[in-house]
Structure 1
Amino acid sequence: MAPRMNPCAYLPRRLQIVASLTAFVLLCFLFLGTSTSDATVDPYLAQVPFAKQLQSGAHQVVDNLPHLPKDLPYVTTPQWLNPFRGPAHTPPPEQANSSSGEARWYSDFKWRNPFSSSVTLDEERAVLPPLRVRPPVYTYFDAAGRRKDDKSRAAEQELLLIWRRAWWAQGFKPVVLGRPEAMNNPQYRAVQTLELEPELDMEMMRWLAWGNMGTGILCNWLAVPMAAHNDPLLAFLRRGEYPHLTRYEGLDNGLFVGGKDDIDKALKAAINNPAVKRVKSIVEAVESETFTVDPEHDGVAFYSTTTITSKYLAIKEKLADPATTGDGLAMLPPLINSHLHMTWQNTFTSGIAVLKPLPEHTTSLIEPAIDIARNLSQCSDTPIPASCPPNRPRCKPCVSSQMLISLPPVFRNTSTLFTIGTVPHPYTLTSLLHTRDDLNLKFIRRETSRDAWILAATKELLGTGLASYARLVSMKEAVASDYGSARSLWLTAERPPSVGSARDLEELDWTFGFRLPREPMPNGHSETPVPGPERRPPPPKQEFGDGPVPSELDLVREKGLLEKARMFVRNGAGGRSGGGGGGGRGAGDEKQQQQPAFERTRDVVEAWNLADTEAWKFVRAWNARRRIERRRWEEEEEEFSKGVFHKWIDRIT
């Protein structure tokens, strides 16, 4: 047999293929990859047949290719065509109810990341902390057995509103139950056969309705949370875990907590008690071991008949006379509201801080925040001046101008100081600081500093050596953490709450848990130390005297620039989503021509101020989600509330 002449024949089949392909590629590079001229032709290349003709033909083909136009849009190659591409993250899916207008958000535990886009892969979505679970707090209201006069009915409706608003502001989900829930309990028939006295029958209906709902809090609608957000009792109730059926000493039947099994056992024990017809409450109808008694608590105020009789004589006298019962009951809502407001004021003994980090040319920017602060420092209307809540007999009654309002240039993390901050869009802030509305790329890059707002606001808290993006974590915690959200209110300069808007004021009422004073009294004075509704406190003074005092002309110019900046930011945002309609064909064509300029300018400003933009979008999304959460809850409860309220509200008319 003749010897093998191919050296690759000694290799395995797969290596033969690899070696052959490698040799072929090397030969191509060697003979066809040279671009030298005739004078410098490689002697080895000269031995290849038609090598010169192949090279010249290739050069001729390349030189004669048509030139692409310079304005041809850049087309990216689909990544799936690249076999060597790396793994890519995909944006998280859109969540339900995660947008309101231009505000969009994504709820996730990674909300403390400095930049939301690192989580959402979307510049327009802000990452917010997951919604806190609101433990349900139940009350029972049966319109069939209530008073018949119009004043009493209107007062009861107002008291239910106060009850719902106070518990919502403290982080709970208030639910008003009625007889339908009680009838849905399997033990309802057994109770009906007992023929109980009206007072005990009402109490049994409350417990049947509560047992039908399951684990939670049973509360009288005259018992409201009246303490700081971090009160031990309220903190325990917010956890939503109640290992024992518990009642609270001094609150009578005003507050109970427990699980469904314990509730059902207590109901069965009361029904099977032979002496049930001779008692007035379930507490008396069951063994003392059924309940765990909490003797130390002061987070809930219960305006029971006993409390009103012993503490509020003016209301007691009205309620004692059948002819003035409605008048006496009508005095209770403003009294409870004033006590809620007073408790809030006593919590923040250091006053209210209206944040003003850059004092020059930003007076108009914080005017809405100052209006809110003045409303909060004002005394609410009350029928019994200088009175205290039932759970806080040593309170400090409200006195005109006793609550200090300051304008600090820095944010202070003080537990006894309530902060109202206004976060402007970088375009708004730049326009005001430089008193011009014609911003362009050259001016922004050369004449403005980056992230001026967050650097100034956190200068005292974090020092001056920290980068702007590293300050975002502390800023977000001040806005959205459980500690920070209870001690601060954050607004955006482009959507400030209007003191003349009923809807905006209502949102503030539900945020604070009480109705804010709307306007000062006509007489404008009161007798000291009688608190009452008094003259509105004067505007605050600048804390350190930083910045010049603006003249009337300066304020007019500021307001004009601020309004233009607000319109610019709204139009820029609307242009991104393609929204907005013109007032005719000409107006629409003009808007389409101007819209790209809006987008370019806004994008430049936001790219130059990444930290300030992130803070603004975070606050905008936080406020939008808070509004959406409450409105969704009201829509869910509206259908059930009809059965509770409309039966007796219709009778009024």
Structure 2
Amino acid sequence: MPVQRTFFGLAIPGSRRMPPRRILFVLSLIGTFAVFGLLITIPSKISGSVVPATPEESPAKKSGFRIPKPKFHKPKLSNFRLPSVYNPFRPAAHAPPSGANSTSGDDSWLPDWKWLHPFSSSITLDESRAVLPPLRKRPPIYTFYDTGLKRDAVTLAAEHKLLLIWRRAWWAKGFRPVILGHPEAMKNPLYQTLQTRQLNKKLEEDVARWLSWGHMGTGIFTDYLVLPMGPYDDPLLTYLRRGKYPKLTRYDGLGNAVFSGENTAIEGALRMALDSTTLNTSSSFLEVVPKSTFEVDGHHDSLAYYDPVTIAKKYKVIGEKMAKEETKAEGFALLPQLINSHLHNTFQNTFSGGIAVLKPNPEHTTALVEPALQVATLLAQCPDSPIPASCPPNRSCKPCVSSLAISTPEIFRNASSIYTIGTVPHPYTFVSLTKSKDNIDVAFIRRKTKRDPWILGATDELLEKDVGGEPRLIKFKEAIASEWGRFHSLWLTPEKDLPESLGWHFGFALPMKEVLQPTSTSSVPGSPTKTSSTKSADSNAPAAGELNKERERLKNARGAVRSKFRHQLVIKEAVEAWNLADTEAWRFASAFRAQCEKELELWEEEERKYAGGETD
């Protein structure tokens, strides 16, 4: 039945034939756009004129009188230009081309220096593609390993572990470790000169090390028993990461173990050594080359050298075994475990304030942060060591007698003595857990949930409460991908399993097989035996029954986020549109971790074909 319209209680004639209000609203909107479009298309000048076209045709001109030109009022719209970014009718633009190795699974990214822009889609023109900082150029660091020497099985296994520890530790500090051998030395043009000299085996090996380094060129050269034992931002490590070495440098007190220099300086030192008349009677490369060839640096507190003299002096349990021929291999086999424990202990001393597992909504997100808590437990506990109370040879330390404190703050704190492990969920996952709801629809999202609850909660202390999502995204991205953030934090996403290569992020081995994966719905089997020793656990952990429900809900949410069914995709896209800042944070964190894993994977694939490049 038609609706009778009224005005102050009086019936409006003909109102029964009027269309519904929604149609009137649409028609008025169309009319408004039509008028607006007409106004912006008015030409800047009116071409018509009542003045005769030429002076000869004007009788007034012949009589000496001037007829004034008519003045028309023209609206000043000719200078108005609608910004192209807001123009719905603007021409389409090509998206930036995808670079090599910029995808991994469902993650894709664009390396660009504009990575701190709040929303990646404004640069990539692709809603599913994140903008990440370009990969840092890792300066090469070289070591020499002679595969031709005969070794017993125990010593060979220990050396391979030491090479792995050396590679992993230097990779975590921002370098690109490369293991060299005689094949690289033989590629050096000066190798033929070496063949003409009759040198003892030890000196020939020493010169071969330099020849292999000279073949590769500019970089750092170390013994594989030299490890970086210091914070990421240590002055020496920061200088070496720049990749510029104006002078050939050796480091006082480290003997023949560490050098840095440019290609021309390395070649010059090699030529002087091979041309020296005292080469045959010398015991080492440094004895032949003039002392003025090197600049000596005495500041190397971040470098630990486990040479036989240091081992015999500071680690007598191992040194005594290595001193005896029948137990030498057994003592050498203990060295990898000792070095790994020192790397772990250095991490704990650097972050003496403890480990913070970020948990913005503490009531229903225990299953969400459970893997992060497991990683934190492994980082906080005392590492296994043949000499538990020992310290690295380069610095004094606080031996690990009890585990670091683990906290679960609701907000991210920018503290240099605290290591942060953050879990960034997809908005769908976060809503499902915090609202304890398995089936989510569009109406529920719009009516029952707030926008961007995760990032608003996580960054509550960094910015004022009334600040929107864009400034918070900038701060969040800095916390993840800046030079400071890379060293002080680890960011995960619950929709993926924990990567097995987290040891390469920290620089030392973690028993990753004991870490709970997010897909588990059981209790915590296989938890580390030292879990109970943590000083501060999650105080908001629910009862076992509720925790199992959270795990099951998390498992379902992971499946929903990965689903390709049309209905589920519509709901997922609606959740993402309602939570733009949370979606950008999740996409950025996921792509950044994928980029790190991709970089490591490609490097390992390249190095695997060379001797000593095996992975764990």
Question: Which bracket does the TM-score occupy, shorter chain normalised?
Answer: 0.7 to 0.9
Deviation at 1:615, TM superposition (A): 0.3
Q: 1:222 to 1:424 in 2, by over 3 A?
A: same
The amino acid of 2:576's aligned partner reads E
The amino acid of 2:503's aligned partner reads D
Q: 1:412 to 1:440 in 2, by over 3 A?
A: same
In structure 2, what is the equivalent of residue 508 of structure 1?
A: 502
Where 2:465 maps in the other structure, the secondary structure is coil
**Could you list the per-position Cα deviations for residues 387-410 of structure 1 after superposition, in whole angstroms to 9, with x for gaps in the alignment?**
111111x21111122x11001110
- Separation (CA, whole Å) in 1 of partners of 2:435 and 2:233: 43
Q: 1:601 to 1:618 in 2, by over 3 A?
A: same
In structure 2, what is the equivalent of residue 399 of structure 1?
A: 401
Deviation at 1:550, TM superposition (A): 1.9
**Residue ranges of structure 2 left out of the alignment (5+ in a row):** 1-49, 56-87, 515-527
- Separation (CA, whole Å) in 2 of partners of 1:351 and 1:645: 33
- Separation (CA, whole Å) in 2 of partners of 1:134 and 1:117: 29
Contact in 2 for aligned 1:479/1:619 (Cα 8 Å): yes
In structure 1, what is the equivalent of residue 224 of structure 2?
A: 221
In structure 1, what is the equivalent of residue 479 of structure 2?
A: 478
Q: 1:550 to 1:385 in 2, by over 3 A?
A: closer
- Separation (CA, whole Å) in 2 of partners of 1:11 and 1:121: 55
The amino acid of 2:181's aligned partner reads G
User: Is 1:553 aligned with 2:545?
Assistant: yes
Query: Which of 374, 382, 401 is equivalent to 1:379?
Result: 382
In structure 2, what is the equivalent of residue 493 of structure 1?
A: 494
In structure 2, what is the equivalent of residue 95 of structure 1?
A: 99
Where 1:137 maps in the other structure, the secondary structure is strand
Deviation at 1:534, TM superposition (A): 7.7
In structure 1, what is the equivalent of residue 531 of structure 2?
A: 536
The CA RMSD over aligned residues, in Å, is 2.1
Aligned pairs for 1:9-408 (under 5 A) are 86=90, 88-145=92-149, 147-392=150-395, 394-401=396-403, 403-408=404-409
Contact in 2 for aligned 1:374/1:538 (Cα 8 Å): no
- Separation (CA, whole Å) in 2 of partners of 1:538 and 1:334: 22
**Could you list the per-position Cα deviations for residues 94-134 of structure 1 after superposition, in whole angstroms to 9, with x for gaps in the alignment?**
11111111111010000000000010000000000000000
Deviates more, 1:299-308 or 1:211-220: 299-308
- Separation (CA, whole Å) in 2 of partners of 1:542 and 1:518: 20
With the length of structure 1 as denominator, give the TM-score of the two structures: 0.77
In structure 2, what is the equivalent of residue 625 of structure 1?
A: 595
- Separation (CA, whole Å) in 2 of partners of 1:135 and 1:537: 41
Where 1:132 maps in the other structure, the secondary structure is coil
**Could you list the per-position Cα deviations for residues 502-548 of structure 1 after superposition, in whole angstroms to 9, with x for gaps in the alignment?**
xx33x11111110114589xxxxxxxxxxxx98334567578x6xx6
- Separation (CA, whole Å) in 2 of partners of 1:234 and 1:365: 36
User: Is 1:568 aligned with 2:560?
Assistant: yes
- Separation (CA, whole Å) in 2 of partners of 1:188 and 1:466: 65
The amino acid of 1:335's aligned partner reads L
- Separation (CA, whole Å) in 1 of partners of 2:358 and 2:536: 12
User: Is 1:429 aligned with 2:439?
Assistant: no
- Separation (CA, whole Å) in 2 of partners of 1:122 and 1:609: 17
Query: Which of 586, 590, 593 is equivalent to 1:616?
Result: 586
Where 1:486 maps in the other structure, the secondary structure is helix
Contact in 2 for aligned 1:380/1:516 (Cα 8 Å): no
The amino acid of 1:558's aligned partner reads E
Contact in 1 for aligned 2:249/2:296 (Cα 8 Å): yes
Contact in 2 for aligned 1:387/1:397 (Cα 8 Å): yes
**Could you list the per-position Cα deviations for residues 116-166 of structure 1 after superposition, in whole angstroms to 9, with x for gaps in the alignment?**
001000000000000000000011111112x52110010011100101111
With the length of structure 2 as denominator, give the TM-score of the two structures: 0.82
Deviation at 1:420, TM superposition (A): 0.2
In structure 2, what is the equivalent of residue 636 of structure 1?
A: 606
Where 1:96 maps in the other structure, the secondary structure is coil
Where 2:254 maps in the other structure, the secondary structure is coil
- Separation (CA, whole Å) in 2 of partners of 1:280 and 1:89: 67
The amino acid of 1:615's aligned partner reads A
- Separation (CA, whole Å) in 1 of partners of 2:114 and 2:477: 12
Identical positions, percent: 51
- Separation (CA, whole Å) in 2 of partners of 1:389 and 1:455: 42
The amino acid of 2:530's aligned partner reads R
**Could you list the per-position Cα deviations for residues 167-209 of structure 1 after superposition, in whole angstroms to 9, with x for gaps in the alignment?**
1111110000110110111111111211111111111000000
Deviation at 1:463, TM superposition (A): 2.4
Deviates more, 1:317-326 or 1:109-118: 317-326
Where 1:414 maps in the other structure, the secondary structure is coil
**Could you list the per-position Cα deviations for residues 281-318 of structure 1 after superposition, in whole angstroms to 9, with x for gaps in the alignment?**
22211111100000122111111122112111111111
The amino acid of 2:117's aligned partner reads N
Where 2:436 maps in the other structure, the secondary structure is coil
Deviation at 1:640, TM superposition (A): 2.3
Where 1:130 maps in the other structure, the secondary structure is coil
Contact in 1 for aligned 2:405/2:534 (Cα 8 Å): no
- Separation (CA, whole Å) in 1 of partners of 2:559 and 2:458: 25
The amino acid of 1:240's aligned partner reads G
- Separation (CA, whole Å) in 1 of partners of 2:459 and 2:240: 34
Where 1:349 maps in the other structure, the secondary structure is coil
- Separation (CA, whole Å) in 2 of partners of 1:164 and 1:549: 38
The amino acid of 2:555's aligned partner reads E
**Could you list the per-position Cα deviations for residues 337-377 of structure 1 after superposition, in whole angstroms to 9, with x for gaps in the alignment?**
00000001100010100001111111111000000000001
- Separation (CA, whole Å) in 1 of partners of 2:145 and 2:559: 47
The amino acid of 1:140's aligned partner reads F
Deviation at 1:253, TM superposition (A): 1.1
Deviates more, 1:286-295 or 1:191-200: 191-200
Q: 1:605 to 1:539 in 2, by over 3 A?
A: farther
Deviates more, 1:271-280 or 1:240-249: 271-280
Where 2:609 maps in the other structure, the secondary structure is helix
Query: How many positions carry a matched residue from both structures?
Result: 521
Contact in 1 for aligned 2:269/2:293 (Cα 8 Å): yes
- Separation (CA, whole Å) in 2 of partners of 1:517 and 1:382: 14
